[in-house]
Chain A
Amino acid sequence: QDVPAGASDDVLKIGLVYTLSGPPAALGEQARDGFLLAAEKIGELGGMKTEIIIVDDEGKPDLAAQKANELVLRDNVDFVVGPIFSNILMAIVQPVTSTGTVLISTNAGTSTLAGEACNPNFYTTSYQNDQNHEVMGAYAQAQGYNNVFLMTPNYQAGKDSQAGFKNSYKGGTAGEIYTELGQLDFSSELAQIAAFQPDAVFTFMPGGMGVNLVKQYSQAGLSGIPFLSAFTVDETTLPATQDAAVGMLGGANWAPDMDNAANKEFVDGYIAKYGAVPGTYAMQAYDAAQLINSAVAKVGGDLTDRAALHAAIKEADFDSPRGDFSFGKNNFPIQDFYLVEAVKREDGMYGTSVKEKIFDDYVDNYADQCKM
């Protein structure tokens, strides 16, 4: 196996690739802050002098590819961590992993990389993209809904999310619609929902779209219809939607109020440092730092023995705030999934809260296709 150029020196260099400008910057910043929180807490990751280089991919895949090249070829980093978005991941996976450098995705988990195109140098601490949608599908199925209204933006991830939902939901649909990417006003869709009176609405509206939808949903007086979503109502959008989102449901692998010591340390530390409630973006990046720390420590700082390093990463020997965490054969996590609900927290801020566990030690649907 290739030994990347930076493996032999005695500094541990980590490159973070996140979207730090434009509207999705809120997500990128959470992830960056989550990673830095862990790095700061641990100090020297794996006992090595640690250097972290943060780059902004600006949401542009070609630029991200270049920045990734820059990290591996010029800066000789040992790990690349990131990104938020699938299209960015697709752009950087080749330049990073082809040099033998380890890439850890802390959010994007595209199906190809989980399945046929799985890659020994690629790990993720998040999930496979479909999984959160499957959680909602399973919940809808369990509730016995038979008339769910599906609404997602018109692009690849939107289509995947409807497919993911329908993986585990077998009931009928009141409508399956695709909205324009970046849509501002949902009055037309809300009118349809009001007209159809479905059992529930399932949606996937990341970022500003989600904020608009949630606000308008409650303004249109539709709060009576259950609102199931993924990546729509979370800690990055709740500060803007506030009460309008309270009670809305989502699927996730974690929530800030989970009751375990590791989580307490993480959430309290994050709130103390950044004055905001962390979301999954922060948690998964936090875990990436913990993962690197554990693996590097295991190999005693010798990054040239790649087999040993990969074995150490695979062990995933750290305490994740989400509880159980292990890697499947495609280097995607095997973890539990929950139904979470938006609540107003005791400290006055807004966050999600675990309502019930939906899947236990859930393996994604693509792992079988991985020949690794």
Chain B
Amino acid sequence: MMNLFVLQLLNGVQLGVLLFLIAAGLTLVFGIMDVINLAHGVLYMVGAYLIATFAAATGSFWWGFLLMLPAAVLVGLILEFVVMRRLYARSHLDQVLATFGLVMIATEAVKIIWGTAPLSVPMPDVFSGSIPLMGPLKYPVYRIAIIVAGLAVGLGLFVMVNYTRVGMLLRAGATNRSTVSALGVDINRLFAVVFTLGAVLACLAGALVAPILSVDTGMGESVLILTFVVVVIGGIGSVKGAFLGALLVAVVDTVGGVFGPIWLREIMDPAAAGQTGRVLAPMLVYILMAVILSVKPAGLFGRTA
């Protein structure tokens, strides 16, 4: 039992890093630039489709990955130039409406281009094995690679946001664009670059998870809400918060899903516990968020403005 608990904890942490990888771009664009981009999920999906296409065309995951990057930059730049830059100064609701439109456009476009059947991305050979863990348990190498990638992205973001001029200017620009520009900073260009970076991060996440997750037209939407939950739980604008938020969500979800019913059985009769467990399990993440926000209304690391 203890073993399983530890293992589930580990799984939770791993899922957390995966979630953070997906949420990283959102942290940047939403948390720090203060732009609500519902299209973040579809960018993630586009990344997966891009790598699927390029990998299939070249027959290699790595070539697919390398080709995906410039394509992602292009997608980000176009999106920024055509739509997003007109939205920075607008209200959150306008951003919601416009990016909701973008979601519809992108999802439909993906459907037209790639069809509705899910696609497959081969796992790169170097990472395809799994290493033995305790007992009969094994751990896929590729997941370790994802964890490493997630940690690297997180660290990079953290340093960028908290210790570089770009990070300061982003935070400053999010609250007061005109003053920043009147002090001599080309805020439009800066936002364009950073939005594109966010888009690339989303695509990157999509590309990295493509070998283990289904590449289909719903993949963006299914993570969108979850990534928002992660960012909000951690506290908007905090990379550290998003990281811990992701871990927390994942651990609660994993461990709670498995052990919740077991613990419930301690306090009520098994049938009722099973029933209650089933009702509560899908709500866990939301209960977690509601509890955190009602105790800390600005998330774990959010600043009360």
Contacts and interface: CB of A to CB of B under 8 A. Distances in A.
B14 A23 contact: no
A168 to B, nearest CB: 22
Interface stretch (B162-170, B193-201, B215-223): B215-223
Given A184-B213, A194-B137, A240 B118 contact: yes
B218 A22 contact: yes
Interface string A168-182: 000000000111111
B222 A219 contact: no
Given A26-B117, A221-B130, A192 B219 contact: no
6 contacts: A184-B213, A191-B11, A211-B118, A211-B214, A211-B216, A220-B130
Nearest to B139: A220
A187 B137 CA distance: 11
B216 A208 contact: yes
A258 interface: no
A197 B216 contact: no
Contacts of B253: 180
A208 B212 contact: no
B140 interface: yes
A24 B217 CA distance: 9
B130 A219 contact: yes
Given A185-B15, A192-B4, A239-B120, A215 B213 contact: yes
Contact of B7 (A191, A210, A215): A191
A163 to B, nearest CB: 14
B296 interface: no
A25 B111 contact: yes
A21 B115 CA distance: 11
A209 B4 CA distance: 23
Interface of B: 3-4, 7-8, 11-12, 14-15, 18, 108, 111, 115-120, 123, 128, 130, 135-138, 140, 142-143, 211-219, 221-223, 253-254, 257-258, 278, 281-282
Given A26-B117, A195-B137, A219-B123, A188 B216 contact: no
Nearest to A187: B11
Given A187-B11, A191-B7, A26 B116 contact: yes
A188 B281 contact: no
Contact of A195 (B18, B120, B136): B136
Contacts of B14: 187
Nearest to A215: B212
Interface residues of A, number: 41
B6 to A, nearest CB: 10
B214 A188 contact: no
Contacts of B211: 215
Contacts of A239: 117-120
Given A182-B222, A221-B130, A191 B137 contact: yes
A294 interface: no
A188 B213 contact: no
B169 to A, nearest CB: 35
B258 A240 contact: no
A219 B142 contact: yes
A212 B213 contact: yes
Nearest to B213: A212
Contact of A240 (B123, B138, B142, B216): B216
Contact of B215 (A25, A207, A240): A240
A178 B214 CA distance: 20
B281 A180 contact: yes
A195 B7 contact: yes
B140 A212 contact: no
A211 B212 CA distance: 9
A220 B216 CA distance: 22
Contact of B117 (A21, A154, A210, A240): A240
A167 B4 CA distance: 30
B146 to A, nearest CB: 10
A10 to B, nearest CB: 36
A292 to B, nearest CB: 25
Interface string A201-240: 0000001111110011001110000000000000011011
Given A26-B216, A185-B18, A215-B213, A195 B118 contact: no
A207 B215 CA distance: 11
Contacts of B8: 188, 191
B217 A25 contact: yes
B117 A220 contact: no
A154 B281 contact: yes
A276 interface: yes
A25 to B, nearest CB: 4
A330 B215 CA distance: 39
Specify which of B4, B18, B216 lies most central, judged by the most chain A CB atoms within 10 Å of its CB: B216
Given A154-B281, A240-B120, A184 B222 contact: yes
B137 A25 contact: no
A86 interface: no
Contacts of A25: 111, 116, 217
A192 B135 CA distance: 12
Contact of B12 (A177, A188, A197): A188
A17 B201 CA distance: 38
